[in-house]
Amino acid sequence: MEGSVILIIVGVIAAFLALKFIKGVVKLAVLAAIVIAVIYFLSQGSL
């Protein structure tokens, strides 16, 4: 019984860390997309 409780706790912690990691990756992807868009518009001379 104790082993399964520890496994559940470890699973919850792993899921929480994965969620934080995914959020960080999404933030980086959005920032990169904005930077690429700005560079593209500047190189086109539209701004």
pLDDT classification of 47: cutoffs 50, 70, 90 = low
At 26-39, the pLDDT tens digits run 999 999 999 999 99
- Output the average pLDDT for the chain: 91
Structure pTM?
0.58
Whose CA is closest to 2, among 16, 17, 10? 10
2 vs 12, more confident = 12
* In the predicted structure, residue 40 carries a pLDDT above the cut 60: yes
C-alpha separations of 27 from 5, 9, 31 in Å? 33, 27, 6
